Structure 1
């Protein structure tokens, strides 16, 4: 399959931001923060709580600003400009993690918060660029390749990071020194794989600049809120997305805690996480290919069914082998459901207002992340079994599948001329 220069450049940015997601958000910085804060006398449960607070705060900020930033980015030329601003904030703040002394845990939190805001804001504009870089009939394929390449990229840098941390490579004398170098490597990786996007991708669809972009953006955002109920396909999908992506994100978020409850060692958890990313690469591409043949809606329903099976399978898990099977099952559909959600949404929205609509898409995706963890935690506490916590997430996939089933398959010609 041949890709245009713009498509290739857009796909490579997924390779850039996925490394940040795995190393800074999920795997290494959270552990390093607990180490630094613990050395300063902060209790283990307080460090966990503080990390949760700043992660929620940065997500809340971007979620609240997303519709406004999206509306502002829909004016011709603004999408690239705001993407660049967000990217550079994220890059500078991630690089700044290298310079934080090992006894300044408060500064780690502050800098991480700003880097996470930059990362999430850049993703808002990046996702919306899919309407500019490719045609509707190629949305599924391009989006899937983006997620697939992202998994391979993040896994590659993660292997390098773990080698640095667990060995004395380059004469390093301690793991904390190695981790700080990993932060800088992540920044460089993010920057280098962003260059094609910065150079080759341009905004082709947008609105003419008004006299007052700020004022009109607010007016447009409010007008869209009032009339969004008339976009039945968009509203129906966002409702389905709200539920099933909450289940997906909760399984990702709670996987480590779930594994620990099952007696899985830390080293095994990291290996499973690495294998999950490797498995996700070909499976995501397969989802994209099959979506072209059988339809995006059908493949999303299949992915939701796989996650339903995961929830049921969790009830019978007893061994480390069961955890491996669960991880591989997650890897088989995680990238597919995320990639096809993005491409399906891109197909049903007006292209000239892509940023504004992706702003609302981000709100539904971010705010949905509240319900799942609460459902998991409450069920686990009431039953005393984390397996029941995972199983309870089946409710979210059933609701998401129900609303997705009610939607129609969207012809590739829809919104092509908008």
Structure 2
């Protein structure tokens, strides 16, 4: 086998991990288990929303404070696959154990603890997964493979939802003798998620090459990595345009993260979606998100990343505002699917924009800060939703915090210039 062929196989196996990991996000965090917890385990939807938001918020807080240290290990320590393997097992275990979370308030804490373990495993594995890509490809193809990995994630989530719904929820009682009264036909999808994650992560461990260990002790790796992080933060003093963008991203990324964490709970609690409807909504949303990510990639090249981000955030604010007020289930579907179109472009164009405005010789440092800005306060949105829902006894009021985060992020983006950083000369990127 040629070197190029071997590299291609390794990259495809790397991208397959996104296919595997997406199962957790669509089946557990966003659509199925989140709604099942609020409807069937918690005392009521309001309490369920608050508890779920607090759990996601706590996981996000731990992720935020641990990500810089783990990122330092990824940059300075060398090998990534052992860490990916550990956190993958952690997520697979948490997802699979949710099969035992029966529809009763007796299982509230068990369900929250297992979901918490799964959340940390899924999120922390991605720190090391992302760190692998620059070593697997070149500067000429890194964008392509990053995009393909993203696309594999959308496709994996879509297929996982389709199989979960038609294979278990709809026909589980008929085909496998699952008890619908105890919702075994729903709970089996959580075990299925764990199996899916384990199975489709195997190509990465078997086919994707890892970099050799640098033989640094963990303390030394963390120390070296944090020193580089400090150098990057120091550089921001000379690059006000970059820190303005990162500040804007902190707000609007928190809004996006909260949509993912709380969307299924909101659909179930406010609009009474049952499990089948949530599955179908998730399937449809993955399709519109994929269409949006593909379509806006052309807009980004033609009009620039800043305009794409602003248009996409505007496209998110309008449907989020609408779903807070509509009473009809039909209109929730309309505005919810429209929202999906703008989710992918915001994420993709943000990554592109960071690459464009970063000084060429400092891009590694800048992307380290970019990753930190994406995790720094992601716990805040779900906590806001949870506590406001509890205090106001209304999911609509709680979800309104998403609108606030998106609007603040959108407003801050107008102060950012689409120019390349550094030093004394600023180079427009639209030429």
Q: TM-score under structure 1 normalisation?
A: 0.79
Which residue, out of 249, 259, 270, partners 2:257?
249
Match of 1:408 in 2: 419
- For structure 1, list consecutive stretches of 5 or more residues without a partner in the other structure: none
- For structure 2, list consecutive stretches of 5 or more residues without a partner in the other structure: none
Matched residue of 1:78: which SS? coil
CA change 1:81–1:362 in 2 (3 A) is farther
Say whether 1:81 aligns with 2:89: no
**Which whole-Å CA distance do the structure 2 matches of 1:134 and 1:30 have between them?**
37
What do the CA deviations read for 1:280-307 (whole angstroms, capped 9, x no partner)? 1232123334434554344323322322
Greater mean deviation of Cα atoms: 202-211 or 151-160: 202-211
**How many Å apart are 1:408 and its aligned residue?**
2.0
Match of 1:149 in 2: 152
> Is this contact kept in 2: 1:58–1:113, CA < 8 A?
yes
Match of 1:199 in 2: 206
Which residue, out of 126, 130, 137, partners 1:127?
130
May I ask how many residue pairs the two structures share in their alignment? 406
Matched residue of 2:76: which SS? coil
CA change 1:117–1:239 in 2 (3 A) is same
Say whether 1:338 aligns with 2:342: no
**Which whole-Å CA distance do the structure 1 matches of 2:140 and 2:301 have between them?**
8
> Is this contact kept in 1: 2:50–2:386, CA < 8 A?
no
Say whether 1:15 aligns with 2:22: no
Match of 2:378 in 1: 366
**Which whole-Å CA distance do the structure 2 matches of 1:300 and 1:409 have between them?**
17
The runs of at least 4 consecutive aligned structure 1 residues that moved more than 6 Å come to 204-208, 374-382, 384-390
> Is this contact kept in 1: 2:95–2:115, CA < 8 A?
yes
**Which whole-Å CA distance do the structure 2 matches of 1:176 and 1:394 have between them?**
36
**Which whole-Å CA distance do the structure 1 matches of 2:287 and 2:312 have between them?**
18
Say whether 1:115 aligns with 2:121: no
**Which whole-Å CA distance do the structure 2 matches of 1:68 and 1:247 have between them?**
25
Say whether 1:96 aligns with 2:102: no
CA-atom RMSD in angstroms? 4.1
What do the CA deviations read for 1:294-339 (whole angstroms, capped 9, x no partner)? 5434432332232244356568856444323212221212122123
**Which whole-Å CA distance do the structure 2 matches of 1:99 and 1:300 have between them?**
42
Match of 1:172 in 2: 178
**Which whole-Å CA distance do the structure 2 matches of 1:392 and 1:25 have between them?**
22
- 1:161-310, aligned counterparts within 5 Å? 161-163=164-166, 164-167=168-171, 168=173, 169-174=175-180, 176-202=183-209, 209=216, 212-222=220-230, 224-230=232-238, 232=240, 234-256=242-264, 259=267, 263=271, 265-266=273-274, 268-310=277-319
CA change 1:373–1:263 in 2 (3 A) is closer
**How many Å apart are 1:78 and its aligned residue?**
3.3
**How many Å apart are 1:112 and its aligned residue?**
2.0
Matched residue of 1:323: which SS? helix
Greater mean deviation of Cα atoms: 307-316 or 332-341: 307-316
**Which whole-Å CA distance do the structure 1 matches of 2:211 and 2:190 have between them?**
35
Matched residue of 2:183: which SS? helix
Say whether 1:33 aligns with 2:37: yes
Q: TM-score under structure 2 normalisation?
A: 0.76
**Which whole-Å CA distance do the structure 1 matches of 2:54 and 2:376 have between them?**
20
